[in-house]
């Protein structure tokens, strides 16, 4: 599939999912997650209060950044998700805009560049990683930190190989993983998401979307960060419930959270340059 076709498919998938996304992800601890990541970014030298939330979805991570006192811009590839975010945070509606993270417009410099909730997993090639990382680097201030998550191989061997269902008030979700429990590092994985929503007339409306992702090996991520002029300064492993751990174990953790800085940045102190992630 071409990059353009994949772009169209991803945007369309999230446009269909947008009205139900918050219910589908109601168990996610966005506020705690963003706060934990921000604490680690500060330990790595983050200074300033300007943030951009790339692939912001319906604004859950944006709201968390605002609560932490950041001035925030936010974008997503899906117009439907951006609309949901604007309706959720009407006072900040002008802060949201539609953009592909592989082709970010010039917006100035930001101290905290954030890209969460599986967004990087939708990049299916090394070149797409490089263009996205280059765009993030162009937005990063000299003392800024770029933080993003990717799914572990364990997630692709479990969630993407299972069928899961969830029922809400007038909503029914079905996740049908199309992968295998033996998925290899670096492979593509896909899943079908089906929503059934009760209409005002009592009938049910069905919507389906396919989500294609790639597992990104750690060596590839580090190499593409370097190619974009970024230094990978820390990687944390993540467990359910927004719990970050100092060491990475992809066979046990659900995500990896990367922290990067501009490669031309001079560390403020030896302590900052040698900082290690610790559990909250």
Q: What's 263's domain CATH number?
A: 3.40.50.150
pLDDT at 199: 82
DSSP lists the bridge partners of residue 76 as: 98
Domain-located, residue 56? yes
Domain-located, residue 121? yes
Domain-located, residue 173? no
Kindly state the average pLDDT of the residues 221-226: 98
Q: What is the dihedral of CA 216, 149, 108, 70, to 10 degrees?
A: 180
Which residue range is the domain that position 54 belongs to?
29-154+226-273
User: What is the overall mean pLDDT for the chain?
Assistant: 89
Domain-located, residue 182? no
Kindly state the average pLDDT of the residues 215-228: 97
pLDDT at 116: 96
Half-sphere exposure of residue 194: CA atoms within 13 angstroms, side-chain side:
10
pLDDT at 26: 66
Q: Which residue has the higher pLDDT, 196 or 140?
A: 140
pLDDT at 27: 67
DSSP lists the bridge partners of residue 54 as: 75, 115
- pLDDT above 70: residue 223: yes
Contact indicator for 26, 103 with CB cutoff of 8 Å: no
Taking the C-alpha atoms of residue 211 and residue 279, their distance in angstroms, rounded to an integer, is 32
Domain-located, residue 263? yes
Taking the C-alpha atoms of residue 216 and residue 53, their distance in angstroms, rounded to an integer, is 21
- Domain count along the chain: 1
Residues 65-93 pLDDT 10s: 999 999 999 999 999 999 999 999 999 99
Taking the C-alpha atoms of residue 36 and residue 39, their distance in angstroms, rounded to an integer, is 5
Domain-located, residue 213? no
Spatial neighbors of 162 by CB under 8 A, at least 6 apart, are 175, 177
Token pair for 183 = 């998925």
Q: H or E element: which one contains 231?
A: strand 230-239
Domain-located, residue 75? yes
Kindly state the average pLDDT of the residues 172-197: 93
Burial class (CB in 10 A: 0-12, 13-18, 19+), 241: exposed
Domain-located, residue 139? yes
Kindly state the average pLDDT of the residues 111-119: 95
């Amino acid at each position: 599939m071409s990059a353009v076709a994949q772009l169209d498919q991803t945007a369309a998938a999230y446009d269909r999912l947008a009205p139900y996304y918050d219910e589908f992800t109601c168990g996610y601890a966005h506020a705690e997650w963003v706060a934990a990541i921000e604490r680690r970014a500060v330990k790595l030298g983050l200074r300033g209060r300007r943030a951009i939330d790339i692939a912001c979805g319906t604004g859950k991570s944006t709201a968390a950044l605002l609560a932490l006192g950041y001035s925030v811009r936010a974008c997503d590839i899906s117009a439907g998700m951006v609309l949901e975010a604007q309706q959720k945070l009407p006072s900040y509606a002008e802060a949201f805009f539609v953009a592909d993270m592989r082709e970010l417009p010039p917006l100035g410099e930001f101290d905290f560049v954030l890209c969460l909730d599986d967004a990087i997993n939708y990049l299916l090639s090394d070149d797409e990683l490089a263009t996205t990382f280059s765009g993030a680097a162009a937005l990063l201030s000299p003392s800024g930190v770029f933080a993003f998550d990717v799914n572990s191989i364990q997630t692709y061997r479990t969630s993407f190989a299972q069928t899961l269902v969830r029922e809400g008030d007038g909503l029914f979700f079905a996740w049908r993983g199309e992968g295998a429990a033996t998925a290899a590092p670096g492979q593509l994985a896909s899943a079908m998401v089906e929503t059934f929503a009760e209409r005002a007339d009592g009938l049910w409306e069905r919507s389906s979307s396919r989500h294609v992702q790639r597992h990104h090996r750690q060596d590839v991520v580090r190499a593409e960060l370097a190619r974009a002029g970024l230094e990978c300064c820390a990687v944390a492993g993540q467990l359910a419930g927004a719990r970050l751990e100092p060491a990475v174990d992809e066979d046990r953790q659900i995500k990896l959270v990367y922290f990067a800085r501009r490669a031309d940045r001079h560390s403020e102190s030896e302590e900052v340059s040698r900082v290690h992630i610790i559990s909250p």
